[in-house]
Amino acid sequence: MGASQKDFESAVNQVKLLKKDPGNEVKLKLYALYKQATEGPCNTPKPGLFDLINKAKWDAWNALGDLPKETARQNYVDLVSGLRSSSDSSSQVKPEADKKQAGYETLVITSEDHITKIMLNRPAKKNALNTQMYQEIMLALEAASKDDSTITVFTGSGDYYSSGNDLTNFTDIPPGGVEEKAKNGAILLRDFVDCFIDFPKPLVAVVNGPAVGISVTVLGLFDLVYASDRATFHTPFSHLGQTPEGCSSYTFPKIMGLAKAVEMLIFGKKLTAGEAYAQGLVTEVFPDSTFEKEVWTRLKAYSKLPRNAMRISKQIIRNHEKEKLHAINAEESSILQERWLSDECVNAVMNFLSQKAKL
């Protein structure tokens, strides 16, 4: 016997109580099954190209064709039941409460041994940077610049360092339309990268796994980059109809030479940790089995060095290029503002959102 109307209504209520966000793909499935179960086959007009969210919803509903209402109702109930069991075994990192700084949802920030550690904490989304995470990182950098730590460290929770910009950032269109969205995105990007350019203390990346897009490009603004041998470095900008950011159009050719920078930034060549080390983007590579232990032992020793000497040395090394970097950041952000409105970019993002096409 199929699910009753009461089972269906109860499942609808349970969705609102899920502890873990099931992700866009599942949310689309739930939406489609709900519509099919309550209204039958999709017979509304197809939304326009730029109405990304409604178009994705419409596609999901329409894909169910003539599926009977009763089957859709049963499939909805089964899907929710599966989600409830996996939601109960959610595995986000929850470090000891006494060391953790409160007030951040997408980051876990701890301060210990004169080190402020900023951990990207959306492991279920491979630590993709959503708008909230960009904003929280800016706040965290501002706080770390003033706290009593000597060095600041970025790392990722789970198997990825970060999968780069969260592609669903492109779907939340404000009343001013896609132009306003692109303008706001360019302002956010510029402010975000400015925080890295201006950060006054030694900045360290502990790259625990694959890194993509903007999480790779800003590495050119870090002072040390330690990588697990599991890490990879990928900037697939052309594949996404986009162009370099994070000052990489300047820092990468400077770090690795024009030929290698072009291979990464234009042709999207993915580097292994060993290759990134050979090209000067990475300071040192460690075997994954001993990565955490070796890196943190090293960083704890560095963090005991005199605070002011380290800060002033960083200024001497970096300050003469700051103005140039700010200008490059402004230019890259403004070029991206236009790119985000291009068919090439819109199609690449829609392709990811609708089919979850992988890099």
- The alpha carbon of 55 is separated from its chain's Cα centroid by a whole number of angstroms, namely 23
Residue selected from 207, 224, 240, 281 as contacting ligand L24GHEU4 according to rule CB under 6 A: 240
Q: Is residue 25 involved in binding ligand L24GHEU4 (CB under 6 A)?
A: yes
Binding mask 339-358 for ligand L24GHEU4 (x = CB under 6 A): -------------x---x-x
The DSSP code for 48 is P
Q: Least distance to ligand L24GHEU4 from the beta carbon of 234, Å?
A: 8
User: How many whole angstroms separate alpha carbon 13 and alpha carbon 246?
Assistant: 43
Q: Is residue 201 involved in binding ligand L24GHEU4 (CB under 6 A)?
A: no
Residue selected from 166, 223, 275, 332 as contacting ligand L24GHEU4 according to rule CB under 6 A: 166
- By CB under 6 A, the count of residues binding ligand L24GHEU4 is 27
Q: Residue 167 contacts by C-beta under 8 Å, 6 or more apart in sequence?
A: 128, 349, 352, 353
What is the token pair recorded at 8? 């269906």
Q: Is residue 30 involved in binding ligand L24GHEU4 (CB under 6 A)?
A: no
Q: Is residue 189 involved in binding ligand L24GHEU4 (CB under 6 A)?
A: yes
User: How many whole angstroms separate alpha carbon 197 and alpha carbon 246?
Assistant: 9
Residue selected from 83, 212, 247, 282 as contacting ligand L24GHEU4 according to rule CB under 6 A: 212
User: How many whole angstroms separate alpha carbon 31 and alpha carbon 61?
Assistant: 7
Near ligand L24GHEU4 in 105-144, by CB under 6 A:
125-126, 128, 134
Tell me which stretch binds ligand L24GHEU4 (CB under 6 A): 31-39, 79-87, 113-121, 162-170. 162-170
Residue selected from 106, 116, 168, 228 as contacting ligand L24GHEU4 according to rule CB under 6 A: 168
Q: Least distance to ligand L24GHEU4 from the beta carbon of 68, Å?
A: 27
Tell me the β-bridge partners of 154: 118, 205
Are 274 and 348 in contact, with CB atoms under 8 Å apart? no
The CA dihedral of 127, 128, 131, 133, to the nearest 10 degrees, is 20
Q: Least distance to ligand L24GHEU4 from the beta carbon of 38, Å?
A: 24
Tell me which stretch binds ligand L24GHEU4 (CB under 6 A): 18-26, 63-71, 142-150, 271-279. 18-26
Binding mask 304-343 for ligand L24GHEU4 (x = CB under 6 A): ----------------------------------------
Helix (H) or strand (E) holding 286: strand 284-286
Q: Residue 233 contacts by C-beta under 8 Å, 6 or more apart in sequence?
A: 207, 211, 216, 219, 264, 270, 271, 273, 275, 276, 281, 282
Q: Is residue 232 involved in binding ligand L24GHEU4 (CB under 6 A)?
A: no
Q: Is residue 169 involved in binding ligand L24GHEU4 (CB under 6 A)?
A: yes
DSSP line for 137-202: HHHHHHHHHHSS-SEEEEEESSS-SB--B-GGGGT---TTHHHHHHHHHHHHHHHHHHHHHH--S-
Tell me the β-bridge partners of 286: 228
Q: Residue 16 contacts by C-beta under 8 Å, 6 or more apart in sequence?
A: none
**Which one, 67 or 359, has the nearer CB to ligand L24GHEU4?**
359
**Which one, 185 or 220, has the nearer CB to ligand L24GHEU4?**
185
116-137 in b/e burial notation, b at 16+ Cβ within 10 A? bbbbbbbbbbbbbbbbebbebb
The footprint of ligand L24GHEU4 (CB under 6 A) covers 23-25, 125-126, 128, 134, 163-169, 185, 188-189, 212-214, 240, 242, 245, 352, 356, 358-359
